[in-house]
Amino acid sequence: MDAELLLAHVLGMSRGSLLTLDDVPEPDAKRFGQLVDQRADRVPLQHLTGRAPFRFLELAVGPGVFVPRPETELLTGWVLERLTGLDGPIVVDLGSGSGAIALSIAHEHPGARVTAVEHDPGAIAWTRHNAMARAAAGDTPVGVVAGDMTDPGLLPELDGRVAVVVSNPPYVPDDAVVPREVADHDPPLALWGGPDGLDVVRGMLTVAARLLHPGGWLGIEHADQQGTALPAVVRAHGGFTDVADHPDLAGRPRFTTARRAPR
Ligand SMILES: C[S@@+](CC[C@H](N)C(=O)[O-])C[C@H]1O[C@@H](n2cnc3c(N)ncnc32)[C@H](O)[C@@H]1O
């Protein structure tokens, strides 16, 4: 499938229309061969095409930014369900990377006031690039803020006003072994989360609790092995009710949700 997608990329056509192809011009065949070699050397497909599909969007990606994963589409869908019927809800995406979650929310819930927070200077260039492209395409503009999701003073102007705080934070335990595509090409700040993978989450909960209005929702993605540990960390914080965990389409624990307790 990757070879087909690379050939379609080189020829500027859809994967399906490759079926109608009789011949590949020599320069394209050469370029295709180079890309196949790079993919065989474990360069992510999305870095070779420069694009990553996510829900209804196609985002620009490349070195310096985390490639959005299909699992995260589910967490994004959960956020959109929480927003149903709300007029101009305020949403904060902590650790926005390519902007996949934030920009999808702005695209699918027009009028949502979305802020994307990103700490990595390399990654935020991609957040800004994609946010500008989506605004130019007519979506409600998303605010992009350089900031640390564990900074207790983050976004003071949104204190107690936010309907949903969502995050796909770095959650890989420091001693985990990850595929070469990930280890060599996803930025370290996007991956590593301390000994149990939950250091950044622990730091972020106080910020989320301050930003959310009572009854506002929190959604955090996690690794397969954190389906018990992450809900326990959220419960231990004390500022949230209705803590629940949700599986992905493969049935593996994938994200934890909770509501801001009354103050
Ligand atoms: C797993 S990636 C997720 C990116 C994007 N939200 C997605 O789902 O594809 C985590 C992101 O959080 C950012 N990040 C890590 N630590 C952060 C922090 N303390 N504050 C803000 N962003 C942070 C990383 O740079 C990275 O872009």
DSSP3 helix / strand / coil % (the chain, rounded to 5): 40, 20, 35
What's residue 263's pLDDT? 78
Instruction: List, chain by chain if needed, residues with CB within 6 Å of any ligand 1 atom.
Output: 66, 68, 72, 94-98, 100-101, 117-120, 123, 148-150, 168-170, 187, 189-190, 200
Our mutation pick for probing the ligand 1 site, out of 55, 58, 65, 66, counting the most ligand atoms within 8 A of Cβ, is 66
Q: Which residues pair with 145 in a beta bridge?
A: 117
Residue 225 has what DSSP assignment? G
Alpha-carbon distance 39 to 43, whole Å? Answer: 5
Query: How far, in Å, is the centroid of ligand 1 from the Cα of 13?
Result: 32
Q: State both tokens at 236.
A: 């231990």
Query: How far, in Å, is the centroid of ligand 1 from the Cα of 27?
Result: 38
What pTM value is reported for the model? 0.96
Count other Cβ atoms within 10 Å, centred on residue 113. Answer: 18
Alpha-carbon distance 108 to 121, whole Å? Answer: 27
Mean pLDDT by 10 residues, the chain (263 residues): 97 95 95 98 96 97 96 98 98 98 98 98 98 98 98 98 98 96 95 97 97 98 97 98 97 98 88
Alpha-carbon distance 98 to 131, whole Å? Answer: 9
Sign of CA dihedral 246, 249, 254, 257: negative
